[in-house]
Amino acid sequence: MIARSGPIIRMTTSKLSLSSKAKLSDGNLVPRLGLGVYEMSDHEASRAVTWALEAGYRHFDCAEWYYNEQSVGSAIARFLASPNCRIQRSDIFYCTKLQSNNGYDAAKRSIAQSLKKCGLGYIDLYLIHSPYGGKKKRLESWRAIEEAKDQGIIKSCWGPLVRAERFDHPVIVELAKKHSVTPAQVLIRFSLQRGYITIPKSVSKQRIIENADVFGFELDEQDMQQLLTLDEYLVTDWDPIGDPSA
């Protein structure tokens, strides 16, 4: 997929499960639930990815900025090479991201380094991690990414937006009690029902399993409306709409 704005996914099935996928605008499929590895050490990332694979995850969200691409890729490769493994590389969706917009040549080097570090043969999704760098350098970065997609090194590409979290809000806590789940599970389920691709991060085996256990309950229309009213425009990092360097 190559797009900078507008809808990027559409539902492929009305019934959600760990194997549910969304279709990108270029036709490629992405698992709706994945594991994030932000701020994980190499050891933590390796363990978390292994536990996630064992729990049924097939989508892994990495980044040049996380400095653990090699450990994530190695953990995936080891799992695929294990005697009892019944899946193959094509069943895995590996995403990584460009650290900064420093122009065409820098982006080409970053793509090559990320590909070498992960050791998976290709990158399923390559993102521009932040909007900063100015319009000229962003466009140069994008040109390098488009070329890599044309070469088959990258399957899909896009520029992402922002992230946020609110686990302690009374409404979320109350909904968690209603459904006998955790606040995190409520938010993951809400995100999935909204049609989003959802990437929770954890270094805990129990929480990795728990984060995938969100398909045994469903938020009703009233639950969803309650959660939708909580929007506070809580931007926790950059806001590309207000990028001062645009």
Domain of 125, in residue numbers: 20-161
Spatial distance between the Cα atoms of 237 and 215, rounded to a whole number of angstroms: 30
Strand order in the sheet with 59-61: 35-36, 59-61, 93-98, 123-128, 154-158
Numbered residues of the known binding site for substrate: 129
pLDDT range class, residue 37, cuts 50, 70, 90: very high
Is the per-residue pLDDT at 174 higher than 70?
yes
In a shared domain, residues 121 and 175: no
- Residue of higher predicted confidence among 148 and 102: 148
In a domain, 37, yes or no: yes
User: Is 43 in the same domain as 151?
Assistant: yes
Which letter does DSSP use for residue 91 in this model? G
Average pLDDT over residues 160-166: 46
Q: How would you list the strands of the sheet with 9-11, edge to edge?
A: 9-11, 21-24, 29-31
Task: Provide the annotated binding site.
Answer: 129
pLDDT classification of 241: cutoffs 50, 70, 90: low
Is 26 in the same domain as 130?
A: yes
Q: From its phi and psi, is residue 134 left (phi > 0), alpha (psi between -120 and 50) or beta?
A: left
What is the pLDDT confidence band of residue 68, given thresholds at 50, 70 and 90?
very high
Give 5's pLDDT tier (boundaries 50, 70, 90): very low
Taking the model in full, what pTM does it have? 0.85
How many domains would you assign to the chain? Answer: 2
| Shared domain check, 131 and 57 | yes
Residue 3 in any domain: the answer is no
For residue 224, the surrounding DSSP H or E stretch is: helix 221-228
Confidence (pLDDT) at 52? 99
Q: Which are the catalytic amino acids?
A: 66
